[in-house]
């Protein structure tokens, strides 16, 4: 498989994961005793992909991935808002359910886009910073060092923008109590995907 094809597959996965975690992330489940969005299964893969791309193709290409993903998310946000307010045909009986599911996701999507841009820009910068500091060695270190801080930025920004005062109890302390277990779960998943970083880098570097 040609390198351009592999890069295009990663690009498609990256954009698909960004859209998926925003549209599907409203469902809450319990994982290891922590209530968390199902998006937790998708978020680590977005950082994984940008780290793989940064390692092989450089910071500029990783930023292009991020820019394209944000543009796609903004388009989905606009169309989601439009489709929520459009009057349904009389044959469509599920408009309230549609509005409940996708209308609620608008604030979530705005929060996610802001958190994504800030955290991913930091992750791409930090990965390149650690790559220079380690002179291209210790891939596992720069992958996890960049992701740990980036996931903290992503989690805190998202939680505060999405849930600040959505109900009386959602003050700063309550949001922090929600965010910390969620953050530790994300770090756990990010640590577990370290072998996938090595595999992805190896596959992207291979010719043929």
pLDDT digits (tens, 9 = 90+) for 7-41: 999 999 999 999 888 888 778 888 888 888 888 88
> Cα Rg for the chain, rounded, in angstroms?
18
pLDDT given at position 7: 92
pLDDT given at position 206: 82
**Which CATH number describes the domain made up of 3-205?**
1.10.1760
Nearest to 201 by CA among 7, 1, 64: 7
Angle, nearest 10°, between helix axes 3-24 and 104-133? 140
Residues 21, 45 contacting (CB under 8 angstroms): no
pLDDT given at position 104: 67
| pLDDT surpassing 90 at residue 163 | no
Spell out the residues 6+ positions from residue 188 whose beta carbon is closer than 8 angstroms to its own: none
Is the CA virtual torsion 158, 122, 43, 21 positive or negative? Answer: positive
| pLDDT surpassing 90 at residue 54 | yes
pLDDT tens figures, 61-111: 999 999 999 999 889 888 988 998 999 999 999 998 888 878 766 777 788
Residues 161, 180 contacting (CB under 8 angstroms): no
Report for 13-17, 25-29, 169-173, 201-205: range of highest mean pLDDT: 13-17
User: What is the average pLDDT score of the chain?
Assistant: 87
Residues 34, 181 contacting (CB under 8 angstroms): yes
């Amino acid at each position: 498989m040609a390198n351009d094809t592999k890069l295009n597959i990663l690009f498609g996965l990256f954009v698909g994961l960004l859209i998926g975690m925003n549209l599907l992330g409203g469902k809450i489940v319990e994982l290891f005793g922590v209530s968390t969005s199902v998006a937790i299964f998708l978020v680590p893969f977005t950082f994984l992909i940008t780290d793989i791309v940064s390692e092989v193709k450089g910071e500029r290409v990783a930023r292009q991935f991020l820019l394209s993903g944000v543009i796609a998310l903004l388009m989905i946000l606009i169309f989601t808002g439009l489709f929520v307010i459009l009057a349904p045909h009389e044959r469509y009986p599920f408009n309230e359910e549609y509005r409940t599911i996708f209308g609620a996701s608008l604030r979530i999507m705005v929060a996610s886009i802001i958190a994504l841009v800030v955290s991913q820009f930091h992750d791409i910068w930090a990965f390149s910073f650690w790559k220079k500091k380690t002179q291209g060695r210790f891939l596992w270190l720069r992958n996890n060092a960049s992701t740990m801080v980036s996931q903290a930025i992503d989690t805190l920004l998202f939680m505060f923008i999405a849930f600040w005062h959505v109900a009386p109890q959602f003050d700063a302390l309550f949001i922090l109590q929600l965010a910390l277990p969620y953050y530790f779960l994300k770090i756990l998943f990010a640590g577990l995907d370290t072998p996938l970083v090595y595999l992805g880098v190896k596959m992207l570097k291979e010719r043929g």
